[in-house]
Amino acid sequence: MVENPKAYYAPMHTAEHILNRTMVNMFDVERSFSNHIERKKSKCDYHFSRNLTDTEIAQINKKVNQVIEQKLAISEKIIPITEAKQTFDLGKISVTDNETIRIISVGDYDDCPCSGVHVPNTDEIGRFVISTWSYNEGVLRLRFKLQ
């Protein structure tokens, strides 16, 4: 069986959904275009115009943890690709018009097409913390862990 690279650590990967939505909301950027999810430490890369300040990182940490602490249920629904195209950027997903796609919802905070594995509720994630971050040539990299 070929394991989905995003599947092997559900709490970390679910936190990634919340982080991406938080970045979109706070900075009006695209969700991470590249990421590496591991049990101990993960990273997400964003197209960005500058580095973030300590204050902004603290704001991201606070918001992500506020969402986690709401004990939101993670749910899924299957919708037609044609419908999904109206709401989501499916640029990286290989699809044809006859297929359906799975949308993962984190409460009412985030909806995102995804084939990975998630925890059933955000109360299984733990506490989110960005450990380090860096900026280089238009790419903001956030490294984070769960405690």
Could you give the C-alpha distances from 7 to 23, 68, 103, 140, in angstroms and in order? 22, 19, 15, 24
Of residues 31, 116, 140, 141, which one binds Zn ion by CB under 5 A?
116
Residue 147 DSSP SS3:
coil
Applying CB under 5 A, which part among 27-35, 51-59, 114-122, 124-132 lies near Zn ion? Answer: 114-122
C-beta closer to Zn ion: residue 7 or 129? 7
Which helix (H) or strand (E) segment holds residue 100: the answer is strand 100-106
d(CA 21, CA 109): 8
Size of the site for Zn ion (CB under 5 A): 2
Q: Edge to edge, what strands does the sheet with 42-47 contain? A: 34-36, 42-47, 139-146, 128-136
- Alpha-carbon Rg for the chain, nearest whole angstrom, is 15
In the complex, minimum distance from the CB of residue 16 to Zn ion, in angstroms, rounded to a whole number:
7
Of residues 12, 114, 119, 142, which one binds Zn ion by CB under 5 A?
114
11 binds Zn ion (CB under 5 A): no
C-beta closer to Zn ion: residue 52 or 74? 74
In the complex, minimum distance from the CB of residue 4 to Zn ion, in angstroms, rounded to a whole number:
9
In the complex, minimum distance from the CB of residue 119 to Zn ion, in angstroms, rounded to a whole number:
10
Q: Which residues pair with 118 in a beta bridge?
A: none
Could you give the C-alpha distances from 56 to 15, 50, 62, 63, in angstroms and in order? 18, 12, 10, 11
C-beta closer to Zn ion: residue 15 or 130? 15
Applying CB under 5 A, which part among 33-41, 46-54, 112-120, 130-138 lies near Zn ion? Answer: 112-120
Which residues would be at the binding site for Zn ion (CB under 5 A)? 114, 116
